[in-house]
Structure 1
Amino acid sequence: MQVLEVTSVPTTQKLKTGILLVNLGTPDSPSVPDVRKYLREFLMDGRVIDIPTPNRWALVNLIIAPFRAPKSAKVYQELWEERGSPLKFYGEDVKALLQQRLGSDYVVELAMRYQNPSIQAGLDSFQKAGLRKIIVIPFFPQYASATTGSVYEKVMDIVGKWQVIPEISFTNTFFDHPKFVEFFAGAARKYMQEREYDFFLFSYHGVPERQILKGDATGTTCQLNNCCDRLHSGNQYCYRAQCFATTRLLVQELGLKEGTYATSFQSRLGKTPWIQPYTEDMVVKLAKEGKKNVLAFSPAFVADCLETTIEVGEEYKEVFEKNGGQHWQLVESLNNSPQYIDLLADLVEKQV
């Protein structure tokens, strides 16, 4: 009887772990054609506008993209810097800093859910590298179907077609990470040392009410009111509840008094109800109530972008001052801060 001898094949190269950092996306340039291209890809996502595909196609391609692109392009031109879109170049900074922090056992790639660099390109490079594991980190502090959920779906759609699928893990939220809270509280304290603020507004990106209700699998938890007063097993993945939880953490860290702060939601689209209260209404209300100095936060964004710099930092400031307010200050986002790199490195370590 012949005995087969099995010998191990020595590994000459240590297998690496891929880290895919994913933000929402930005146009390739502030030109009207590039902005229109971005809007079409973004808004045709069924998790962003969750209506039947034919209706969504007509709405996006016949109404929103043609008419909104020229207006949005002007705003992007105001936002654009020498390095390009802040959302993208801050992402590139974070990629480089995290790669340096993690070392040669990791391969860090930056991707955008819409436009470039694409998730497809990032995953293609991982596939060719023969990685041991892939860790996907969506750049969204709170979970929402239209953001984190969309990234999950896109990644799984691409990797699901591979013949060999390596181990893959995802991070879900990080709004309650100590470094996240530490950064926003620290950034706020700098402004609070310069002047006294009589109100603190925490503004988050809005989503349609129907998406929050659809996320309640039990059909019994979500009431869009006091059910967001605390996080529990029934609403742990509710975007609105997580936003209110983010506010509570920052309020506690800053020692703010009851009645001096509020949570609101911005960036409505269309006529259907979105989660409330609306930031634009809140700004007018605060000014008319006699609030003179407001410190505003945008804790749903990790990089300063159109929704923070322009919408909260400039447009709401103009509305506030027009209605009698005196001083409006936006707290900057995480951008490429050391606390953000620490936070991401910790998320990687926990996954590994």
Structure 2
Amino acid sequence: MALRKTGVILINLGSPDKPDTPSVRRYLQQFLMDWRVIDIPYLWRLLLVYGPISILRAPKSAHAYQKIWRKEGSPLVIEGHNLAKRVGEILGADYSVHLAMRYGSPSIESVVKKMLDEGVEEIRALPLYPQYASASTASSVDELTRVLNKETSFPPLRVLPDFYDHPGFIASFAEVTKTFLETSNFQPDHILFSYHGLPEHQMKSADRSKSHCLQAADCCNRITAVNRFCYRAQCFQTTFALQKALGRTHEDSSLSFQSRLGRRPWIQPYTDFELPILRQRGVKRLAVMCPAFVADCLETLEEIAIRADEDWKALGGEALTLVPSLNSEE
């Protein structure tokens, strides 16, 4: 009797194939032409992405990727493949587990084709974004359904939900953090939870009531039916849960958002603005956790471990260390 397999797709955002300007330019064009990422009219988006961004940003981003690139390739892709392999070993022979990238390689389309050729009976997709966002989670589901809709027939699809406060996620990140701080003998005065930023208007568009999001300072302090899919609110809940797991308080740990792009207001507080504030408070030794990323990537390895570290030292800070992400740890 033929083995009935369940296909599992672990979806992450993506990475260029190489850390050179042409490869990064192709990646940025694919990434930023997604209307969920830059949600302006198509013509303006086309002019922006293929104009200033392709000309000016691609070389700078390529230089940044070169700083963190491994001999085997992109850290995000390497850790993703290692994770898929380990998940497959844990689930066993009844499952076919693959990594797919929303942008770049391996593409969602190529992985779905492989699974359909294998004859899987069901496809389960896990977007590897702990917190829900239209620009990441919804975009990945968009692409997955677009690919399947090209097929005459396909097996049932199940998309697993966000896991911003899942006990397993919180416990794993807390354990990685404790182990890292102990083995590196680093005792931070403060832990900064730095998340990827998003434009404010994307938070407001997720508020179907149009009367809650960013209307009060404490609007993200708890999850309700109104802000169930609010990225900022979910980041707050992840932070609260990790603070509890690590025995931290609001005095010796805090939250911020990094990676702004463009002139429109992004969700606050900003990571680069928080660094001088923490120095003014007397913080010397700072640990930075990035719980929006399940694997280390450009935003953690270059933006935090290199650039933020340089900024911190320029401010007179004694030491800044990046706490590794979950990557493919057991």
Interval containing the TM-score (normalised by the shorter chain): over 0.9
Match of 1:244 in 2: 236
Shift of 1:219: 1.2
CA distance in 1, matches of 2:305, 2:219: 30
Match of 1:347 in 2: none
Matched-pair identity in %: 43
Aligned equivalent of 1:30, options 3, 14, 19: 19
Contact persistence 1:26–1:88 (CA under 8 A): yes
1:299 has 2:288 as partner: no
CA distance in 2, matches of 1:256, 1:93: 31
> Which whole-Å deviations, capped at 9, do the CAs of 1:194-216 have from their partners, x for residues lacking one?
24322110000000001111111
Q: Which residue type is aligned with residue 214 of structure 1?
A: S
Shift of 1:191: 4.9
What SS is found at the alignment partner of 2:254? strand
Shift of 1:178: 2.0
Shift of 1:130: 2.2
Shift of 1:192: 4.5
**Structure 1 residues 127 and 50, CA gap change in structure 2 (3 angstroms):** same
1:119 has 2:111 as partner: no
CA distance in 1, matches of 2:171, 2:69: 28
CA distance in 1, matches of 2:297, 2:207: 30
Contact persistence 1:287–1:321 (CA under 8 A): no
Contact persistence 1:95–1:108 (CA under 8 A): yes
Q: Which residue type is aligned with residue 238 of structure 2?
A: T
Aligned equivalent of 1:107, options 78, 83, 96: 96
CA distance in 2, matches of 1:32, 1:161: 32
Contact persistence 2:284–2:317 (CA under 8 A): yes
1:212 has 2:203 as partner: yes
CA distance in 1, matches of 2:287, 2:108: 36
Q: Which residue type is aligned with residue 282 of structure 1?
A: E
Aligned equivalent of 2:165, options 165, 168, 176: 176
Deviates more, 1:18-27 or 1:170-179: 170-179
Contact persistence 2:8–2:123 (CA under 8 A): yes
> Which whole-Å deviations, capped at 9, do the CAs of 1:17-60 have from their partners, x for residues lacking one?
10011110000000110000000000000000011110100000
What SS is found at the alignment partner of 2:219? helix
What SS is found at the alignment partner of 2:302? helix
Match of 1:158 in 2: 147
Match of 2:266 in 1: 274
1:256 has 2:248 as partner: yes
Aligned equivalent of 1:221, options 209, 212, 218: 212
Match of 1:86 in 2: 75
1:47 has 2:36 as partner: yes
**Structure 2 unpaired stretches of 5+:** none
Aligned equivalent of 1:324, options 316, 323, 327: 316
CA distance in 2, matches of 1:17, 1:186: 30
Match of 1:283 in 2: 275
1:136 has 2:125 as partner: yes
CA distance in 1, matches of 2:68, 2:93: 35
Superposed CA RMSD in Å reads 1.2
CA distance in 1, matches of 2:254, 2:165: 18
CA distance in 1, matches of 2:186, 2:76: 29
Q: Which residue type is aligned with residue 311 of structure 2?
A: V
Instruction: Give the alignment's TM-score, normalised by structure 2.
Output: 0.96
What SS is found at the alignment partner of 1:135? strand
Contact persistence 2:130–2:163 (CA under 8 A): yes
Contact persistence 2:176–2:326 (CA under 8 A): no
> Which whole-Å deviations, capped at 9, do the CAs of 1:172-191 have from their partners, x for residues lacking one?
21122222212221222235
Match of 1:315 in 2: 307
CA distance in 2, matches of 1:308, 1:336: 16
**Structure 1 unpaired stretches of 5+:** 1-11, 339-352
Aligned equivalent of 1:68, options 57, 79, 97: 57
Q: Which residue type is aligned with residue 106 of structure 1?
A: Y
Match of 1:4 in 2: none
What SS is found at the alignment partner of 2:255? strand
Q: Which residue type is aligned with residue 223 of structure 1?
A: L
Contact persistence 1:212–1:238 (CA under 8 A): yes
Match of 1:77 in 2: 66
Q: Which residue type is aligned with residue 187 of structure 1?
A: V
1:203 has 2:191 as partner: no
Contact persistence 1:141–1:301 (CA under 8 A): yes
Shift of 1:261: 1.4
